[in-house]
Amino acid sequence: MIVGKRTGLEEPGEFVADGVDGLMIEAAGVQKVFEAGGLRVRALRGVDLGIRRGEMVAIMGPSGCGKTTLLNVLSGLDELTGGEVRVDGEPIRGMSDRRRTRFRAEKMGFIFQSYNLIPVLSAIENVELPLLVAGKKPKKARRWALDALEMVGLPEQADKRPAEMSGGQQQRVTVARSLVNNPAIVWADEPTGALDSETSKGIMDLLVRLNREQRQTFVLVTHDAAVAARAHRTILMRDGNITSDEPNGSPRGEGE
C-alpha cells in the first residue's frame, strides 16, 4: 500500500512522510544528451530534484526545454547520460532492463496525451491488459479493471471501444489503466493537452481526488497554468535546467 500518513491537518504541500527522508523520487545531477545525425542535444543539464511520497508536482516550461525527457529518465523509460536517480530508494541506473521493466510495472502508472488505447479492445479490456501482461488471473484482472473504471466514473462504458467514446472518456480510461495496479507513482505527460477546459477540469478533479485518497505520487507535465495550480508544487524548466521550484500557495479545489 502507499506509504505516508496524513492527519488531515496539513496545509497543501505539507506531508507526514514515512521512511528516512520521505522522498519517493530523488534526482541528482541528472544529464541527458541525445546524439542524432552528428547533432548533440543537451536535453537535461544537471537536474537536482526531490519529490516526496504522496506529493503532486507539476512541471512546466517552453516546448523543447526537457520536460518529457525528464519524465522518461526519472521513470527509467530512457537511460540517463549522467547523474543519479533513485525511485523509492532504489537506484534505477544499475538495474538490468528486465528488472527495470518489472520495477516500472509494479510501481508506476503512465498517462500520456495521446491516449494509447488499443482501438480493437473495449474500455475494460484496455484497462485489464496491464494486469494480464503482469500474469494476473483473468477473473481477478476483470474485477480490478471494473473497480478502476468505477473509480473514474465510467462503469457503464466498460464494453465500448475507444472510438465510441469522447476524448474525456478516453482519457479517463487511460487514467483507469494507469491506476489499475495501484502504482506508487503516476507519471502524466500533458494528460489534459487534447481536452477542452471543462473536460480538462474533470480529469484534474479526478487526479486530485485520487492523489488525496490513494496517496499516490503524481508527476504531471502541463502547459496549462490552471492544471499546474491543482498540484502541490510547480517546477519550471528552461533549456534543460530547473529554474524555479515553488509550492503552490492557493487551494487545490474540490474540497481541499
Ligand X SMILES: Nc1ncnc2c1ncn2[C@@H]1O[C@H](COP(=O)(O)OP(=O)(O)OP(=O)(O)O)[C@@H](O)[C@H]1O
- Does position 178 interact with Mg ion (CB under 5 A)? The reply is no
Q: Which is nearer to ligand X, 4 or 61 (CB)?
A: 61
Q: How far is the CB of 205 from ligand X (least distance, A)?
A: 24
Q: How many residues bind ligand X (CB under 6 A)?
A: 12
Which single residue brings its beta carbon nearest to Mg ion? 68
How far is Cα 61 from Cα 12, in angstroms, rounded to an integer?
23
Q: Which residues pair with 189 in a beta bridge?
A: 112, 221
Which three three-digit cell numbers place residue 215?
Answer: 496517496
Q: How far is the CB of 64 from ligand X (least distance, A)?
A: 4
What nine digits make up the cell of 75?
A: 521513470
| Residue 253 contacts which entry, ligand X, Mg ion, none (Cβ below 5-8 A, type-dependent) | none
Q: Which amino acid is at 18?
A: D
Output 101 or 114, the one with its CB closest to ligand X. 114
Among 41, 129, 146, 194, binds ligand X (CB under 6 A): 41
Nearest to 186 by CA among 205, 201, 208: 208
Hey, what's the cell of 19? 521512511
Q: Which does 138 bind (CB under 5 to 8 A by kind): Mg ion, ligand X, none?
A: none
User: Shortest Cβ distance from residue 20 to ligand X (Å)?
Assistant: 31
Q: CA angle, 15 as apex, 11 and 19 as ends, to 5°? A: 170
Nearer to ligand X, 82 or 89 (CB): 82
Give residue 243's region: left, alpha or beta (phi > 0; psi -120 to 50).
Answer: alpha
CB of 21 to Mg ion, least distance (A): 29
SS3 86: strand
Site for ligand X in 49-68 (CB under 6 A): 61, 63-68
d(CA 84, CA 88): 13
Binding positions for ligand X, 63-122, rule CB under 6 A: 63-69
Residue nearer to ligand X on the CB measure, 3 or 41: 41
Residue type, 103: F
Find the binder of Mg ion among 23, 60, 68, 185 (CB under 5 A). 68
Q: Which amino acid appears at position 22 of this protein?
A: G
**Residue 219: strand, helix, or coil:** strand
Task: Give the interface with ligand X as residue ranges (CB under 6 A).
Answer: 34, 36, 41, 43, 61, 63-69
Task: Give the interface with Mg ion as residue ranges (CB under 5 A).
Answer: 68
